[in-house]
Each structure stands twice: as C-alpha cells, then as structure tokens.
Structure 1
C-alpha cells in the first residue's frame, strides 16, 4: 500500500479520534497528542525499512519527542509508537523496545503483538472503525490527480494502443498491431500463441468500445486500487482478463464458432466488478459510494445488454466476474490471516 496514502489515512483517523499533531515539518516523526485524564502522545513512523536498519531509532526519536512535549505542556505524558508497515517480518523485528508500539498493516488495520498494550486512550477503537483505504470523491467527479496510478496507466496504455491501431488503418489498410494482438479463436486453436490471451485485453474494436470500457475502468478501478493497493489490483485485473479470454476460447470452440475474433478489457473490468461485489458483501452491503444494489444493477444491465445484442463476448464477462469474486475472497482471507498472526 502506498505509504503516503497510508499516512494520510491514519492521520485522518487520529484527527477524528481527538488527536492533534504538534510536530514541526522537519521533525523525524509525527507527534499526535490527546488530553484526557492525562496526556497521551502517539509518535507516527512511516519508513519501516529505515527503522529495520536501525531498530533502536524508534526509542531515540520517542525520547526526543517526549522531551519536546514535556517542554511545551509541562505535563507527564504516556507515549506509543505507531509504525506504518506492510511487511510483517519487518514489524516483528521492530517489536522490541522501551516504548510500547503498534503497527498498521497494508489494510489500514492495527497489528498488536504479544506483550504490547491492547489499548491506548481509545486509540484501538478509533483505528478499527469500518472504513477502507479510500479517499472519497467530490460528488460524481474523479479528479485526475486523485486516480490511483495503475488505473490511470492502464487507461493511458489502452488509449495509446488504440491510437496506433487507428494510424495503421489509415487508407483502409489492416493494422499490423491489431493482427498481432487480437485473439482469433480458430487461429489460436491451430497455433496457440499464449501472449494473445494477454494482449487482447488491451485491444479494442473501435473508439466506442474503448470509451465505454475505459469509463467504467476509471471509476471501478480507482475504488478497487485505493482499497487493495496497486499490486493486488493489477494482479486481479490481469488474472481476470487472461482467465476470461481462456474461458472464451473454450466456449467458442465448444460452440463451433472458430471464426470469432475477441478483444477488449471488459473481462478484466468485470473481474474488478466481481472483486468489488465481494468487498461490498463483506462490508455488509455498502462500500463508500457503492451499494450492493447499485453494483448488481450495473453488472446485470451490462450482461443483459450483451445478451440482447450480437457480437458481445458474454462468456468473458461472466467468467471475469467469477474470477474477480473468488480473488476477493482469497485476498480477504489472506488479510484476515495476516492480522491474526500479527496479534
């Protein structure tokens, strides 16, 4: 998970929990204080690799922060180190020290090892609130500078490929890139060129086909990537797209439609929709601005439109959604296992 986004996510939670940041911009960590029956301070660290190289740095920095807080507040203060770390092995290396410490994993949830305090001025309850690693959008608009980077790169790559194909078709010619990337069922059966299962995910039959897919990808991809991180998101996207294409080959061969050529990102996008459907169900029917009813309606409408028209690869849509949903279950179980082992 992106460290900058993770830090912003945790800082928002600290603010909501009544903590105030008093550290200067050049201070080696964030220092968040809260006055209750006594003074509490959370020292926020966001560079686990640097800390792993010098495990006692946490104690030295917290000592320095304690001195500054006491100079400002003239009060005794209880301290907790909060370390952002998406690497469980690094977290285990850093668990030993004079000051108590918690860790925040790549899902934005607290990890508390044995021997560490289980509570710190209601901080645990603040951190585990039912929120996801996702910045809300302004109304219906998606600002370009807030779109996760992998989603944006996928959109740019698809547009770039379509531009090259369009240039190659000037004068009524066949595009060499189109011929190289498209998944033609009969030719694939005779000569299984495995890369076509991948390349056809990034190829589209015209600008309308591209525009419709990219619009949905920009919206659903942004939600999924912010929730799961760029590598998990990209993994689900590619696995869904490749799996949907492989299933399409089997389906069209089974139907005897060997002359069919298929391309497009819709199988991969349906994989992301299936992933989000899993997340919405696990979030008890609502995830940020998406509800279970909205997501099911969108998927149903797209499938209905596909069945109502000819030339639509409905097999890729259905299989992509199933793959994405299964990936969502696997990712959820893995995250749950990681949190359990971390405590």
Structure 2
C-alpha cells in the first residue's frame, strides 16, 4: 500500500482486474463471469451490479496488499465475489434457487477453491478477499431488498 500512496497510483486497486497473465487466465475468468453475471446483473440492476464489481475487486486488492501476499492480476477477485454473493443467496434466500441450481453453484464454488489451492501462482489472498467481499455485498443486498425477482427455475 505504501508504494500506491507514495506514487498516488490508487487506480491500481481496480485496474489490476483488467490485466491477465495470458490467454488461459483470461479465458477461465471470462467463462465464470459470463456464466454467473447475467442473471445477477438482471436481478440487481446495472448500478448495484457495478457496486458489486467495484467492492469485490477493491476487497480483493486490499487483501492482496496484506503482508506475505504477492501482487496479482486478473478478475478472479470479482469472480470469487460472484461466488460469495451466490453463496449468501443460497444460505439466506433459500427460495431463490431450486436444489439442482444450488448443487451446480456449490460445485463451481468448490471447484474454484480447489483450483486456488492446487495450482501455483494463484492469489489465495485475492480470492479470499473477493469471496468475503461478495458475501458482505450479498448480505447488504438481501437486507436492503435490492434483488428483483431472481427466477432460474424452469
């Protein structure tokens, strides 16, 4: 954080999410974002969805800056933010998803965490920060009734 403050390069707390470590990295992040974003954006609306993006991306960046964490690139902080908000919906809004949808969502969340710990050069701190930020945003959006009808059933 020191170098960001000294050089006044605060944009780095968000811009890292638009840089990726190669095509495979970009492709994997985009697949998850393209699968999980559209229904959530439709339910929240564009403004709330952008709030989710910025909050989870910033939350991911701030945890990356913790001691013993390495700098990261990529949108996986937002990806894990999506996972966090979906998990909060499964737990707190039990009637939103049918059981099959819940299983698919939990499968993707679990797979994301397994990959996080199995492969090198993946920011565990960044994923954790995005995930926790997504859960927090999920709780806020649920408590403020920010979700429009979110029907993925048939």
* TM class by smaller structure: 0.7 to 0.9
In 1, the alpha carbon distance for the partners of 2:55 and 2:100 equals 23
Aligned to 2:89: 279
Deviation, 1:232, is 0.7
Task: For residue 144 of structure 2, give the secondary structure of its aligned residue in structure 1.
Answer: helix
Residue 316 (str. 1) matches residue 132 (str. 2): no
Task: For residue 261 of structure 1, give the secondary structure of its aligned residue in structure 2.
Answer: coil
Identify the range of structure 1 (282-291 vs 260-269) with the bigger mean alpha-carbon deviation: 282-291
Task: Tell me the TM-score normalised to structure 2 length.
Answer: 0.83
Larger Rg: 1
Task: For residue 193 of structure 1, give the secondary structure of its aligned residue in structure 2.
Answer: coil
Residue 206 (str. 1) matches residue 22 (str. 2): yes
For the Cα contact (< 8 Å) 1:280–1:291, is it kept in 2? no
- Listed as ranges, the gaps of 5+ residues in structure 1 are 1-184, 337-343
Residue of 101, 105, 110 corresponding to 1:295: 105
The change in CA–CA distance for 1:243 and 1:290 in structure 2 (over 3 A counts) is: farther
The change in CA–CA distance for 1:246 and 1:299 in structure 2 (over 3 A counts) is: same
In 2, the alpha carbon distance for the partners of 1:325 and 1:332 equals 10
Q: Greater strand share, 1 or 2?
A: 1
For the Cα contact (< 8 Å) 1:248–1:316, is it kept in 2? yes
Higher RCO (CA-CA < 8 Å; seq separation 6+)? 2
Deviation, 1:289, is 8.4
Q: Deviations over 1:204-236 (max 9, x none)?
A: 111111111111101100121111111111111
Q: Deviations over 1:151-173 (max 9, x none)?
A: xxxxxxxxxxxxxxxxxxxxxxx
Aligned to 1:268: 78
In 1, the alpha carbon distance for the partners of 2:100 and 2:62 equals 30
Deviation, 1:290, is 6.2
Task: Tell me the TM-score normalised to structure 1 length.
Answer: 0.39
For the Cα contact (< 8 Å) 2:83–2:109, is it kept in 1? yes
Work out the number of aligned pairs and report it: 146
Deviation, 1:238, is 1.2
Aligned to 1:245: 61
Cα RMSD after superposing both structures = 2.4
For the Cα contact (< 8 Å) 2:116–2:122, is it kept in 1? yes
Deviation, 1:261, is 3.5
In 2, the alpha carbon distance for the partners of 1:243 and 1:304 equals 21
Deviation, 1:297, is 2.4
